[in-house]
Chains A and B, each alone.
Chain A
């Protein structure tokens, strides 16, 4: 009993002290629109368009697997008093429902007007014909990693702009100006990438997971296989051995894995095939500090370098 009381007193003593300390450092600003973004792309779009009008909290780290996010008590508390949510939908964020319910944020549950589904209207790829786990951890509604396509991101900017304008109508003009400016910058960059990296077309490569599909199609790269035998099933030596044969037959020179995917499988194939293994994230912010356009720039440049192709100059 004494031990229990000691714990309670310790806990009670700790909480007010630490909160008093932290509350003075709190970054919260009640005048700002509080925005929750499940992934860095949506968070950066909200910051780009909202700037000083919004306070954005992004749940998934740039180097983190979106599907593996865990809803901690701190995130639940942050979510609770938020005004707007941007999420992918399509079961990409299976942890979201628990986090929102745990936070009591029923105003942001899917179906509410301030819970913005970013995949709405985007033509999907890899919609499964068979829906069971014999196909691995398939996404029932199709591949949700559409933020890897810059053209889709451009439309997402409009979706973010629409939501911000609806909640901040008095700032509609400035938000629309920022949206237009961002779209123009991204369009310029996309035209340059599609022109300068046209030689990437039909280049065969291997990825770890299916997360790059929209990006690959945009730049006409061809995925000849994945290190995973099925979505989110760990690579096996048998599968990798067969994949090595395919890679040799198709003259594959490039393997892409994401930072949260263990290098062991890519090292296995790299020991058997003359390939370059790139660790690239599908999320901006990896490498640290990259914005959305810089992130695409980085990934494309890395791929071009790995294939001994010229790198596009953003300054041109």
Chain B
């Protein structure tokens, strides 16, 4: 049956029939009368009483029936008739199947595996310090599961290509995502991430590699924050500050996040200062905590477009700074601003546009002995990236990214143009081609031009993970 309609479920409820009881008592009385005809009056009296009782029951039944008939709304009979007609019209369908009651992943986290392979052709291997021509660049395993009624546990473990057929593993993120409204049974929208996480700084920095709209991070992020962006250990608080809906139903939301993390955002192996220190054989360390803040304003412009502004910062807490074993003391600060505009095409999303701009600035105030990596000066670097992307069909995207950024600890700068084309044969497999022309000036005189072609293949299996909302409409 297509949808099993219980024949009795919607049919008029039958009144409980007393006919069998009446008949039984009647037969009993006749039997008693027949077999005790010669006996005394008490038996006849009993039979007579039974007959009277039967008559009373019948009268009462008739009364009940009459009352029920009068109390029933006329629509009931109409509904009953319709129901009977409907049941006669419904055709049995053997195609339905029972709902699953066994969940294979019970008590285990949802697991998503993302694999990212890159093939590269062109020059610039020396300047960019990239790995092999072909590499399984990153394998990311994402585990998620509620750990309480008010919190979810997240672990993102990464196995990445370190070049020369060597790999290294790291915990990219591992945190508890806590809802304070659930924890304290109140109406606050405050959430916290506790553990290790991508800090809420910038736009590109907050994304995992497989979520990026291009094959690589924008140059400002790479050259000012490090190839992996900045990831910190600590606690982050986030909450919406205000929300309103206009009479047209268009929403505007302002939200903020504030994180307190260890000071190694820039000094880890992948950090921008850490890489420099390693190149010069210096030990670098920081135990001074950092504050990372971000404010975002999101606004629906009309039914087909929206706009988001974001501003973020990283600054130190107190007077402690990053130190090297050569005696350098560096105080880091970073600022970011970004804007994203989306416009939906037709209902198929073909013709949709994404325009995005990001500006980053890092300040490193260095004291102590001058060395190539950490000159004894205050250094300020700027960089930006502009991206335009158009959805060409239901599963293809064409875009271009323009980059310019200063290089740390030098007078150098990098400019780039990166057109790209993304094709999703399925939701779980993506092919991307990206051309890249880079102009690198390491100092005031040298000028290197790099042209390369990147082929990126990304696939995933396991549980679906949410995409960043701005990648689609």
How many contacting A-B pairs (Cβ < 8 A)? 230
Contacts A25-B246, A184-B75, A217-B95: A72 and B298 contacting too (C-beta < 8 A)?
Answer: yes
Interchain nearest-CB distance for A129 vs B (Å): 10
Q: Contact at A14–B309, with CB atoms within 8 Å?
A: yes
Asked whether B97 is an interface residue with its Cβ less than 8 Å from the other chain, the reply is yes
Q: Convert A241-270 into 0s and 1s, putting 1 for each residue whose CB lies closer than 8 angstroms to a CB of B.
A: 000000000000000000111111000000
Interface residue stretch chosen among A43-51, A119-127, A160-168, A296-304: A119-127
B68 within 8 A of A: no
Q: Point out the residues of chain B lying under 8 angstroms from A91, CB to CB.
A: 464
List the A side residues contacting B296 at CB < 8 Å.
73
- A25 and chain B: residue at smallest CB distance: B247
In chain B, positions 187-209 with a C-beta closer than 8 Å to chain A are 187-191
A124 contacts B97, C-beta separation under 8 Å: yes
Tell me the minimal C-beta distance from B178 to chain A in angstroms.
Answer: 9
| Chain B neighbourhood of A27, CB < 8 A | 245, 247, 249
Does the CB pair B100–A142 fall under 8 Å? Answer: yes
B: number of interface residues (CB 8 Å): 90
Question: Is the CB of B38 closer than 8 A to any CB of chain A?
Answer: no
Q: Once the chains are docked, how many angstroms separate the CA of A210 from the CA of B236? A: 43
Q: A22-B252, A68-B472 are in contact. Are A194 and B149 (CB under 8 A)?
A: no
Contact of A172 with B by CB under 8 A? no
Give 1 or 0 for each of B327-370: 1 = CB within 8 Å of chain A CB: 00000000111000000000111100000000101010000000
Q: Which of A19, A64, A187 contacts B244 (CB 8 A)?
A: A19
Q: Given A19-B242, A76-B240, A217-B2, verify A101-B179 contact (CB < 8 Å).
A: yes
- Min CB distance A174 to B, Å, is 16
User: Would B348 and A74 count as touching, CB distance under 8 A?
Assistant: no
B233 touches A (CB below 8 Å): no
- B255 engages A184 (CB within 8 Å): no
Q: Which of B75, B97, B244 contacts A22 (CB 8 A)?
A: B244
Known contacts: A63-B347, A107-B181. The answer to whether A74 contacts B243 by CB under 8 A is yes
- B428 and chain A: residue at smallest CB distance: A133
Q: A11 to B295, Cβ gap below 8 A?
A: yes
Closest to B248 in A: A25
* Pair B86/A194 contact, Cβ less than 8 Å: yes
B254 close to A (CB within 8 Å)? yes
Question: A70 touching B361 by the CB < 8 A rule?
Answer: no
Taking CB as reference atom, which chain B residue is nearest A28? B245
Could you show 19 A-B contacts with beta carbons less than 8 Å apart?
A3-B361, A7-B337, A11-B295, A15-B241, A27-B249, A71-B469, A72-B298, A73-B308, A77-B240, A81-B187, A94-B466, A104-B188, A107-B181, A126-B97, A149-B2, A187-B82, A187-B83, A194-B90, A260-B348
* Interface residues of A, Cβ cutoff 8 Å to B: 1, 3-4, 7-8, 10-12, 14-15, 18-19, 21-23, 25-28, 63-64, 68, 70-78, 80-81, 91, 94-95, 97-98, 101, 103-107, 109, 119, 121-127, 131, 133, 136-137, 140-142, 149, 151-152, 155, 180, 183-184, 187-188, 190-191, 194-195, 198, 214, 217-218, 220, 232-234, 259-264
